[in-house]
Amino acid sequence: MHTLPDLPYDFSALEPSIDARTMEIHHGKHHNAYVTKLNEALDAAGGDLGSLDITALCKRLDSVPEAQRGAVRNNGGGHFNHSLFWSVMSHGGNTELSADLKAAIDSAFGGMDSLREKFGTAAATRFGSGWGWLVVKDGKLAVTSTPNQDNPLMDGSGTPILGLDVWEHAYYLHYQNRRPDYIKAWWDVVNWKEVSRRFSEAR
């Protein structure tokens, strides 16, 4: 059984970038529903799929029976993506970037400003609902985006180390249609210490 992870901070911890009410609904309603529906789909699928952790499950969607594959993709993706999302943010952000990650960002993008620009463009131009990602692929960094609750694990396009939810439910209460403003404010709460940890793990 998959379970909803606790938020590692209070609902209000990410203000003013993300308001408390949005965090409360996003974690308690949206993420919770993905976990519930994922468990229901795995239960219906039977077999030993339920024993896989969420990362392994996202990489093995082809082994899910066709009748449940869509539900596992959407809700398993939703569970993985949101679990990562909560962990890569913190109160006031955390600028503790490892030397290795800094060097990789400089090498891949020419610096943090260029990474922000490229990532911001990918997230802002993702049509409809989806995610912006910073991934590690063959030891190198790349920026990408996915629709719906898909993620880069599913098609082998990389190991995500930073992700941004650009579904309207992630920002609409405070920002309405101003997705670029949400993206800009979000950088203030990114937990680079955790992104650095994920980078060294992915490599």
Least distance from C-beta 75 to Mn ion, angstroms? 12
> In the bound complex, what is the minimum distance in angstroms from residue 164's beta carbon to Mn ion?
10
In the complex, the smallest distance separating the C-beta of residue 85 from Mn ion, rounded to whole angstroms, is 7
Report the residue from 123, 143, 165, 199 that binds Mn ion according to the rule CB under 5 A. 165
Q: Which stretch binds Mn ion (CB under 5 A): 64-72, 102-110, 139-147, 158-166?
A: 158-166
> By CB under 5 A, what part of segment 103-132 binds Mn ion?
none
- Token pair listed for 142: 């790349």
From the CB of 169, what's the least distance to Mn ion, in Å?
5
Q: Site map for Mn ion, 167-196, x if CB under 5 A? A: x--x--------------------------
Among 7-15, 57-65, 92-100, 166-174, the segment contacting Mn ion (CB under 5 A) = 166-174
Q: Tell me the closest approach of the beta carbon of residue 131 to Mn ion, in angstroms.
A: 9
**150: contact with Mn ion by CB under 5 A:** no
Options 11-19, 36-44, 105-113, 164-172: segment touching Mn ion (CB under 5 A): 164-172
Contact predicate 41/68, CB 8 Å: yes
Measured distance CA(72)–CA(68) in Å, rounded: 6
The residues, any chain, with a CB within 8 Å of residue 62's CB and separated by 6 or more, are: none
| Nearest to 174, CA basis, from 30, 20, 29 | 20
From the list 55-63, 112-120, 127-135, 159-167, the region that binds Mn ion by CB under 5 A is 159-167
Summarize as ranges the residues that interact with Mn ion (CB under 5 A).
165, 167, 170
